[in-house]
Amino acid sequence: MSIFKFHYNLEKNSVGFVVAIILAASVGGLVEIAPLFTIDDTVETLPDMRVYTPLELAGRNIYIREGCYACHSQMIRTLRDEVERYGPYSLAAESQYDHPMLWGSKRTGPDIARLGGKYSDDWHEAHLIYPRAVVPTSIMPAYPWLATTPLDVEGLGAHLAVLAQLGVPYTDDMIANASRDATAQARPDSDAATGLVDRYGEATTIRRFTDAREVTEMDAVIAYLQILGQLTQAPYAAEVPQ
């Protein structure tokens, strides 16, 4: 009996067809779920891995809101040409606190997994306001409203609390001070900046990301872009494939 004949007969038997669907779905589900039982052994632990600050998290939310992930991946593969172009390949642990993760595979624009520190804050601001001012061949849309839209920090505490429920190690102190810390990171001369460092560590970048009088969405996005690839230094010590 040919496979087509078998399938034709199976379609006429509703009970058998349902059983076949369940079996096929079970096999597919098992293939996807089984690796998760060994995830603690297969995903590396990075001792210096830190969480996003509230300002960086706010910038990430805006990045997602504006659909930037549709054109920029954050996943450098273990291929020599990718490593030479973008930097050390991505490690799974670098995305352990990302909800959702933004690895992706679509690259209308370049991969930005190692973007942090590559350009100045002024460059990023000019690029977001009018991309072709700094990259004449760019087809990226402009986001000038980010520079004039005040950052809404009121909901950041609740966001951190939800992420804590998902396993991100935000403390009660971090959650309680989320709104204040978001503003303090872009205002290094504020009294709250000291508390921000106490909560998030000496590696926290505290500076005025733009010259705006109040903290804007532009500050948040730039803070996020400047931390990409900098949450841990482990990838830079990893062996590069030859």
Q: What is the C-alpha separation between 231 and 49, in angstroms, rounded?
A: 6
**Mean per-residue pLDDT, 203-219:** 95
Please say if the pLDDT value at position 196 is more than 50. yes
Q: What is the mean pLDDT of residues 73-100?
A: 93
Mean pLDDT in the chain? Answer: 90
- 58: CB partners within 8 A, 6+ apart: 151, 153, 156, 182, 217, 220, 224
Averaged over 97-107, what is the pLDDT?
A: 91
What's residue 241's pLDDT? 46
Question: Over 70: is that where the pLDDT of 23 sits?
Answer: yes
SS3 assignment, position 150: strand
* CATH tag for 54-237 (out of 1.10.760.10, 1.10.1200.10, 1.10.510.10, 3.40.50.920): 1.10.760.10
Q: Tokens 């076949």 appear where?
A: 20
How high is the pLDDT of residue 153? Answer: 95
State the chain's maximal CA–CA distance in angstroms.
Answer: 80
Q: Which two tokens stand for residue 128?
A: 């977001």
Alpha helices in the chain (DSSP H): 3-12, 14-33, 39-42, 54-65, 80-86, 121-129, 156-165, 172-176, 178-185, 193-200, 217-227
Q: Which of 151, 120, 123, 125 is nearest to 55 (CA)?
A: 151
113 backbone dihedrals φ, ψ, rounded to 5°? -60, -25
pLDDT band at 239 (very low <50, low <70, confident <90, very high): low
Whether residue 68 contacts residue 127, with contact meaning beta carbons closer than 8 Å, is answered with no
Specify the higher pLDDT residue, 167 or 4: 167
Integer angstrom CA distances of residue 68 from 1, 149, 150: 52, 18, 20
The region of weakest confidence among 111-125, 170-184, 187-201, 228-242 is 228-242
**pLDDT tens column, 110-154:** 999 999 999 999 999 999 999 999 999 999 999 999 999 999 999
Question: Which pLDDT does position 29 carry in this prediction?
Answer: 83
Q: How many CB atoms lie within 10 A of CB 64?
A: 13
pLDDT at 156 over 80: yes
Q: pTM of the full predicted structure? A: 0.83
Residue 108, helix vs strand vs coil: coil
Residue 102 has pLDDT above 90, yes or no: yes
